[in-house]
Amino acid sequence: MELIQVIREYLYFFTTIALVVILYAYILHLYRSEKRGEADYEKYGRLALDDELSDKPIEENIKKESEKRESIKES
């Protein structure tokens, strides 16, 4: 019983530290990759704004789209 308790305390403690490290590494990663031009996150912010059925998706979900075209043709 004691042992589980001790193990858990350590687990809890190290997970805490790991979480903090991961979270801060993550935000760094986000800003870095955008600075380097590897990713553009902010364009996804427009998902909420350009949301008419007739608006062009930012990135088409290709596979699904072709299936759908077929089903529309059939009907």
* Shortest CB 29 distance to other proteins, Å: 7
34 contacts 45 by C-beta, under 8 angstroms: no
Residue closer to other proteins (CB basis): 36 or 53:
53
Which helix H or strand E contains 13, and what residues bound it? helix 2-35
Residues that bind other proteins (CB under 8 A): 1, 4-5, 8-9, 11-12, 15-16, 19, 22-23, 26-27, 29-31, 34, 39, 41-42, 44-49, 51-61, 64-65, 68-69, 72
